[in-house]
């Protein structure tokens, strides 16, 4: 079999490359295929990581999975429980989405910054700091006395999880050597997010109609605190003899690039957050009939200005990191990475897939409560297949990712998610739950779960060992932006179609269903586009997560 090459570029920053490597340029080692179609990535030489013992393995898995799962669980809980929260706290209609949106906005804008800082000061202290902050702000959300407090505390909670997500990726890569254990760790962490969101959707309605929505935050804060204690005593300590941390913070981080990128992401996220504004006729009518409002907010001068500025900052960011790379200085995301077909296609796939996954579940919630007009608790019970499917998908991916071709695995997952989108597009509200809704709910998480493990293995492989937290920040930033853009664009479509429908009552189930169906078809189309992207972009990638000698 002939040996073909894959342009799997590894950003090496200021790390010197050994002269024995045959490079296309000083910062881009080549990767080739062996006879088993396994991509061989020539990494910066690092010390071999020994296999951790069973107790360390268990502690790392529990801590990184639980904290990320709790964060996603609260997102799902807020999605379902928002009408109850809004009624109790007196949230104004024009800010009704903010308890959901502000979390994604603050998280997405601080991931790259805190990932870079974690690579300098250490992932363990950053992770534990994030756990403490997340426990505190989660508890504060449950104690909120008005809507303003809830929005502020949710915003700070988004910053807190940004301490944890990039650090968790770095903890996994520094604890587990390449191979089965690392694959299972990424699969477990990947399962924590979609499974947590699905469980949040399930428990949100139960808590709202039984013990109260506040207990969701209280219980999450308690569990998060227990996880912090376990992590404090059990997470492995990395020997760090660095005494010039302050100097490294000054010289090893691309502060200008982070500022430009962060401002652009903040303005872009804000524009998408406020565009599909909620429209509720009276202060008392807080229900989920939220996507039938006006879409004219996007034409508001302030919103439009922010959107334009965010777009104009993108070429400025590209110019700056390109200059940094040419001068051999730290660049937050080097432009050379985007020339790598596999890396770029993985990022595009993560962006679209996370947007589709999050939007489908959000619109399913609206479908159950607004169109079928069932209770919140009955809505929650209908999401039970999702965490089960997510758990099974991640277990399977962790066990087989090093045995099957990565492009086959992620393409299969995307096909399953696309089928789920299609079922929701053709569903009739009068049909039984088991006809379309059940299989759609079951199939929806499979694409995101399959992609999570593969994408983390690929993205962490192209960043050197000293910037693994930044690698985690890149992945999670793309996922967070994908969620915001996916939900915002599908909400605009649903709202526009509903407004233009022939039904007089725009708040009635027939008019709402017309808009929801358009959104489901849009999400189905997005999911279908991802399949060819992976077929073309990941061709020749072979297997990932295989231990290299």
DSSP codes of every residue in 422-459: HHHHH--TTS-TTTTHHHHHHHHHHHHHHHHHHHHHHH
Is residue 310 a part of any domain in this protein? yes
| Secondary structure E strands in 390-527 | none
3-class SS of residue 391:
helix
Element (H, E) at 313: helix 301-326
Sign of CA dihedral 367, 372, 373, 374: negative
CA distances (Å), 151 to each of 89, 101, 102, 140, 398, in order?
Answer: 11, 9, 7, 11, 37
**Number of CB atoms found within 10 A of residue 310's CB:** 19
What six digits make up the tokens of 507?
Answer: 């708040």
Which residue, 544, 531, 537, 533, is CA-closest to 405? 544
Full residue range of the structural domain in which residue 368 is found:
54-236+252-537
Q: Nearest 5°: phi and psi at 21?
A: -75, 140
What six digits make up the tokens of 3?
Answer: 């040996």
Answer yes or no: are the C-beta atoms of 411 and 446 closer than 8 Å.
Answer: no
Is residue 42 a part of any domain in this protein? no
pLDDT at 299: 63
Number of domain units in the chain? 1
CA distances (Å), 71 to each of 137, 229, 440, in order?
Answer: 11, 17, 24
Q: Exposure pattern of 442-480 as b/e (b: 16+ CB <10 Å)? A: bbbbbbbbbbbbbbbbbbbbbbbbbbbbbbbbbbbbbbb
What SS3 string covers 99-145?
Answer: HHHHHHHHHHHHHHHHHHHHHHHCHHHHHHHHHHHHHHHHHHHHHCC
Q: Can you give the pLDDT of all 549 residues of the chain as single tens digits?
A: 433 333 343 333 333 333 332 333 333 333 333 333 334 333 434 446 677 778 888 888 888 888 778 888 888 888 777 778 888 888 776 677 678 778 878 887 888 888 888 888 888 899 999 999 999 999 999 999 888 899 899 989 989 998 988 888 888 888 888 777 788 888 777 777 767 777 787 787 788 778 888 998 999 899 899 989 998 888 887 655 556 777 877 778 888 988 898 888 888 777 766 654 333 332 223 344 444 444 455 567 777 788 888 888 889 988 998 888 888 888 888 888 888 888 888 889 989 998 898 889 888 888 988 888 887 778 878 888 888 888 788 778 877 877 888 888 888 989 999 999 999 999 999 999 999 999 999 999 888 888 877 887 787 777 776 777 777 778 788 888 888 788 878 888 888 888 888 887 778 888 889 999 999 999 999 999 998 888 888 877 777 756 554
pTM of the model: 0.77
DSSP codes of every residue in 280-306: -SSTT--SS--TTS--GGGGSHHHHHH
Is residue 24 a part of any domain in this protein? no
Cα 95 → chain centroid: 23
CATH number of the domain within which 212 lies: 1.20.1250.20
Is residue 341 a part of any domain in this protein? yes
What six digits make up the tokens of 408?
Answer: 């086959």
- HSE, CB side, 13 Å, CA atoms: give it for residue 237: 5
Q: Nearest 5°: phi and psi at 6?
A: -120, 135
Q: Nearest 5°: phi and psi at 403?
A: -110, -20
Is residue 22 a part of any domain in this protein? no
Largest interatomic CA distance in the chain: 73
Instruction: Using DSSP bridges, classify how beta strands 31-33 and 39-41 pair: parallel, antiparallel or unpaired.
Output: antiparallel
C-alpha triplet 353, 358, 363: angle, nearest 5°: 125
Which residue, 543, 520, 383, 358, is CA-closest to 447? 358
DSSP codes of every residue in 171-218: HHHHHS-TTHHHHHHHHHHHHHHHHHHHHHHHHHHHHHHTT-THHHHH
3-class SS of residue 26:
coil
What six digits make up the tokens of 404?
Answer: 């099957």
Is residue 11 a part of any domain in this protein? no
Separation CA 455–CA 253 (nearest Å): 24
Is residue 283 a part of any domain in this protein? yes
Is residue 524 a part of any domain in this protein? yes
């Amino acid at each position: 079999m002939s040996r073909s090459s894959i342009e799997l570029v590894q950003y090496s920053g200021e790390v010197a490359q050994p002269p024995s490597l045959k490079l296309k340029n000083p910062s881009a080692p080549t990767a080739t295929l062996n006879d088993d179609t396994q991509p061989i990535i020539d990494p910066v030489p690092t010390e071999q990581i020994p296999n951790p013992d069973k107790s360390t393995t268990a502690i790392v898995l529990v801590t990184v999975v639980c904290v990320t799962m709790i964060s996603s669980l609260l997102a799902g809980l807020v999605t379902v429980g928002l009408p109850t929260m809004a009624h109790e706290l007196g949230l104004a209609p024009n800010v009704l989405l903010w308890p959901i949106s502000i979390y994604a906005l603050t998280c997405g804008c601080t991931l790259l910054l805190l990932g870079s800082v974690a690579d300098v000061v250490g992932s363990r202290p950053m992770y534990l700091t994030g756990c403490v902050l997340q426990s505190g702000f989660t508890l504060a959300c449950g104690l909120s006395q008005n809507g303003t407090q809830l929005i502020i505390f949710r915003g700070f909670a988004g910053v807190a999880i940004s301490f944890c997500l990039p650090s968790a990726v770095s903890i996994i890569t520094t604890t587990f050597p390449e191979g089965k254990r690392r694959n299972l760790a990424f699969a477990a962490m990947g399962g924590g997010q979609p499974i947590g969101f699905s469980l949040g959707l399930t428990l949100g309605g139960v808590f709202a109609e039984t013990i109260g929505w506040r207990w969701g935050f209280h219980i999450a804060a308690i569990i998060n605190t227990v996880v912090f204690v376990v992590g404090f005593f059990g997470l492995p300590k990395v020997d760090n003899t660095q005494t010039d941390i302050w100097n490294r913070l000054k010289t090893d981080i691309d502060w200008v690039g982070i500022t430009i990128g962060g401002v652009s992401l903040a303005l872009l996220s804000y524009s998408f957050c406020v565009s599909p504004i909620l429209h509720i006729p009276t202060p008392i009518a807080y229900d989920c009939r939220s996507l039938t409002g006006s879409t004219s907010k996007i034409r508001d001068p302030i919103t439009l200005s922010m959107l334009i500025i965010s777009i104009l900052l993108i070429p400025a960011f590209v110019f700056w990191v390109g200059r940094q790379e040419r001068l051999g200085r730290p660049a937050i995301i080097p432009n050379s990475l985007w020339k790598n077909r596999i890396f770029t296609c993985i990022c595009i796939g993560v962006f679209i897939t996370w947007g589709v996954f999050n939007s489908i579940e959000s619109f399913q919630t609206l479908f159950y409560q607004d169109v079928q007009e069932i209770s919140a608790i009955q809505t929650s019970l209908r999401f039970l297949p999702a965490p089960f499917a997510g758990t099974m998908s991640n277990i399977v991916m962790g066990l087989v990712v090093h045995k099957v071709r990565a492009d086959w695995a992620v393409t299969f997952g995307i096909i399953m998610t696309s089928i789920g989108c299609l079922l929701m597009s053709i569903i009739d509200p009068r049909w039984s739950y088991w006809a379309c809704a059940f299989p759609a709910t079951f199939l929806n998480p499979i694409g995101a779960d399959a992609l999570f493990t593969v994408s983390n293995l690929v993205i962490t492989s192209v960043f050197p060992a000293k910037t693994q937290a930044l690698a985690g920040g890149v992945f999670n930033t793309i996922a967070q932006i994908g969620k915001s853009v996916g939900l915002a664009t599908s909400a605009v479509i649903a709202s526009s179609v509903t407004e233009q429908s022939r039904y007089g009552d725009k708040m009635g189930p027939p008019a709402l269903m017309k808009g929801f169906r358009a959104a489901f078809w849009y999400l189905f189309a997005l999911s279908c586009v991802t399949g060819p992207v992976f077929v073309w972009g990941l061709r020749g990638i072979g297997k990932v997560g295989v231990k290299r000698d």
